[in-house]
Structure 1
């Protein structure tokens, strides 16, 4: 469950908006997304007029995506939306460490040409692809480096000067000549970033116990940290990143940087930065990093401290998780006679996509929009949520969707975010991996309420088995005090760093938020498990009653449901009571909790004739619903 804090409530006042329409769409008509072309370059494909498909990838020299679009990762207007994950809910629209307080960086923000800002470095970063010639001033962010030429394409790569493997961004995938090994300097550290920092080498030693998984098929930023030693003079150096794989499309890269001091975690401009395209992050990828004088220069240095590994390349150890699929379900709120629809604008769907891709360990995020559903029951700040969630899960089962698809319901149960008041903002089950039925969550959908997508990302995390992180709410044991993120974070969408002591895990109630390395790893395991489609052998169909427990403790009966397997969840003894209140039998019930204790659903086998009530462990006796 997600509860907004008071500051967020004040900053996020707004009104509802119309949906994209009743017909289910896979994209917004006319939008462009990046697509892969031979040689690691990016092309562009457009959404058809009916919003039901994309055109064939256009790989002509003039093609390219200037402004992202729903399902790609950049804001549809070329970066005006700023970083969707900018600063957590209390930022009111992506402030904090990314984006302007009112919604993001302006289209003209960013580092000037050659700026040497934290987004690039004077030679190998900003001016070569992170500043005016590739990002920054053309539509990217500010101190974080910006996205090349108008925003970044979440699942595809940066746009503008060539994409993940082209000339824009961090080194851009180009490979040029180098001189002798660099003198009086050493490689201090090598790290890889796909959402969190993953150490590969430190102080000349391989990091054998990684803090998080490297995801195959997901773009990766590799940073080479350097440190001058005695006798060093400030100058431009070139780093070479040799990449090898059985895939012939994997390409090595070079990038140059003016070096004057030791690299630091907080300054992207102090490291040699290489952006590896998603298709080149293979399961057998190996890398070797080395430092060189510019082409033709020679200082007579040796490779002892400026090449790592000294011999064969290091196996990065990438593993596949697979695609993440989320279908959004708008509910038309009719309980007050308004028939309001939540915000499903192109901009809001883009925010949802971007924050999922930025934080979740997946190769790709597929976002789709279902037809709107009429809803006649009341939902308030403290009640009605379990019934709404139950309705969504039943709908998911009735739709017979692929088992890998998660459902997220959105609703505007009041005229505005301000008139709704404080209280619950979202609710989701926290199910076992095999519990396909419970892959559903709900959240508020007022316009400008979830402007960075964190409500949704938090609740989807619950559906993937993640309980609360203990900050502002009780939660599971957590390795970092105050539910901080533990390792440096990095957004592939905004190209901004997240300082570990300044950001809290997205499963907490504290701001600003990002994903911790520990939850990143656990989400990887769940996504991989779900995509492997592990088969649960069906048994005989059995009917169950659903007893719904609301966050405020209210009990109500949901619709009956038939399962061909035993429900997942916590086993609880259930006494079956007759008209006199006497127990006539005991059966096993199964309780699946939601994110907000004591809420959840208790599954009870269909009682036999003569049973009029039940009494379950931890719950008061409840009379059966005659309607079943």
Structure 2
């Protein structure tokens, strides 16, 4: 018997050629082998019952919306989620998905997934239901067209091969590096719990979490030489207070006396130890604070006593304030951001901690700007920080410092203003005030020499809040006799300024005994700033602020390495610049 395929009336049939012969006996006929007969049988085929498709892609660097509208940052870890599905015949095993990248018309690379099982339905809330690619470094800049293809080699027979590909063009935006100057604090604790000395810890425990969550391509940490601070951080007044001696106030002053401008993008972050060996002063309470919109903040080093991420998360919260973020509404008894879009401080969208492979659901994770856990970053906060860094992260210092006056004051809840000592030295005037307060300098006859706007900054955490006025204004050529703060047309604070001639000839001496260097200039009760330049005046490190003893002692082992060291003593509350110098012995 032979079997062949033939077309019969436009249909496919099976032709069987059978050799038979007929035996006729009476009325009965029988077929016997010996003759050929053609028999046509219809061929019934079963339709293909499988289909693979790509329904979408999501490109995330920490958090993303379904429409991919959260901006992408150049040179930042990036994961592409390909939503590959098998709606017919699924799940289907051993399927490959390919991702191809094109820039400026040229293919820059492609990636193949391992053979995987494609589900019937891939959803955003199930990270493992999508096929996920971490992009190589060479793809993370400029405009890139991504094409995702399921079963690129057509190894799976499908009813529809036309739904296997999807493309999306994305842009990686250039964002300035986040610059943080970590200020280790030599902390002398005067509070009731374990008072004593807690040495500075010059270790970066914050950049890892910042890099995982913040919309930047790099976090640049510079560890400053330690700064000495004495106070009781179990009391809110040592964090920030009306006398401008709180640690947060000091960070703003420290930045200026270190030679930065008021509007520099560099974050000054005071890093406070809570332990010395087995002794610990902190168990609960205020752990950090930061100016809203001003890039200075304070946080405790919780490493070793809290989970490893907590120190970095605390820094992300406080630096978030520095970048204009207010509290998200969870666990906060004070004011919260009225524009926060999600109830209970939910992160709102699906988040991804790429280095650690942790997938965050908006049903459980809350925003880092709240006081609740588990904490990640919402799309709202992520975009807010992105916009702030794009607007302010590129800010450059003026080309040359000029003789300037730094004026600062605290503003209490009832509107009372308390002036801090003012200092005249070479700095960078800041023109943008942003408040209805201004500072005026008057000559000895009461004539206004300078009228300059002031910046108003706010900070708030549980149990503590503060408002601060700051201005850096150019010094007039005529010595000022009076400084006054104005709110509208009302004088809210004033001070008489010392005439530099009243000090007479002044000198400063620096004497080394072992590892201790003692500076002496003899003007008791005149506030002064002590700072050191390791390179003859090009760069500065402030050592002491509002020193009133006429003398200052420093441990030489804590000073920056120096080949041409120079001390400056800047006298405060003067009508023009009075700066004494001494060579580092």
TM-score category of the 2 structures, normalised to the smaller one? 0.5 to 0.7
Distance change >3 Å, CA 527–CA 236, structure 1 → 2: same
Match of 1:289?
A: 148
Deviations 1:455-511 (A, max 9, x none): 111111111222222222322221111221111000122111110121111112222
1:509 counterpart residue number: 371
Residue matched to 2:134: 275
Higher relative contact order (CA 8 A, sep 6+): 1
Give the structure 1 partner of residue 39 of structure 2: none
Distance 1:278 1:406, change over 3 A: farther
Do the aligned partners of 1:226 and 1:271 also contact (CA within 8 Å) in 2?
Answer: yes
Q: 1:224 to 1:586 in 2, by over 3 A?
A: closer
**Pick from 300, 307, 315: which aligns with 1:444?**
300
User: Displacement of 1:259 after TM fit?
Assistant: 2.1
Does structure 1 conserve the Cα–Cα contact (< 8 Å) formed by 2:188 and 2:230?
yes
| Structure 1 match to 2:63 | 196
Aligned to 2:103: 245
User: Which structure 1 residue ranges, 5 or more long, are not aligned?
Assistant: 1-180, 200-206, 432-437, 578-584
Q: Verify: 1:262 aligned to 2:116, yes or no.
A: no
What is the correspondence of 1:48-87 to structure 2 with a 5 Å cutoff?
A: none
Hey, what does 1:92 align to over in structure 2?
none
Shift, 1:296, TM fit: 6.9
Partner of 1:601: 468
Q: Which residue number in structure 2 is paired with residue 176 of structure 1? A: none
**Cα distance change of structure 1 residues 529 and 278 upon mapping to structure 2, 3 Å threshold:** farther
Q: Give the alignment's TM-score, normalised by structure 1.
A: 0.58
Q: What is the aligned residue count? A: 419
Which of 283, 299, 315 pairs up with 2:157? 299
Residue aligned with 1:522, SS? helix
Within-5 A mapping of 1:493-532: 493-532=355-394
**TM-score scaled by structure 2?**
0.62
Pairwise CA distance, 1:214: 1.1
1:233-289 Cα shifts (integer Å, max 9, x gaps): 532211111111149793211113112432233333221111102331121111111
Against the structure 1 CA distance between its residues 249 and 354, is the aligned structure 2 distance closer, same or farther, given a 3 Å change threshold?
farther
Matched residues in 1 for 2:105 and 2:393: separation? 23
SS of the residue corresponding to residue 545 of structure 1 reads strand
Structure 1 pair 568/494, CA: closer, same or farther in 2 (3 Å)? farther
SS in structure 2 at match of 1:358: helix
Distance 1:510 1:569, change over 3 A: farther
RMSD: 4.0
Query: Residues 405-420 of structure 1 correspond to what in structure 2 (within 5 A)?
Result: 405-412=266-273, 419-420=281-282
Unaligned runs of 5+ in 2: 1-47, 241-245, 443-449, 498-525, 527-572, 574-585
CA distance in 2 between partners of 1:530 and 1:623 (Å): 32
**Counterpart-to-counterpart distance in 2, 1:378 and 1:554:** 24
Higher strand share: 2
Partner of 1:475: 336
User: Does the aligned pair in 2 maintain the 1:407–1:440 contact within 8 Å?
Assistant: yes
Given that residues 383 and 550 in structure 1 are in contact (C-alpha distance below 8 angstroms), is that contact kept between their aligned partners in structure 2?
A: no
**1:397 Cα shift?**
2.4
- Whether 1:363 and 2:217 are equivalent positions in the alignment is yes
Larger Cα Rg: Structure 1 or Structure 2?
2
Q: Who is 1:565 aligned against? A: 430
* Whole-angstrom distance in 1 between the partners of 2:186 and 2:49: 64
- Please give the alpha-carbon distance, in whole angstroms, between the structure 1 residues aligned to 2:347 and 2:377: 6
For residues 252-401 of structure 1, what are the structure 2 equivalents within 5 Å? 252-255=110-113, 256-292=115-151, 297-309=155-167, 314-334=168-188, 336=190, 338-345=196-203, 349=204, 351-386=205-240, 387-400=246-259
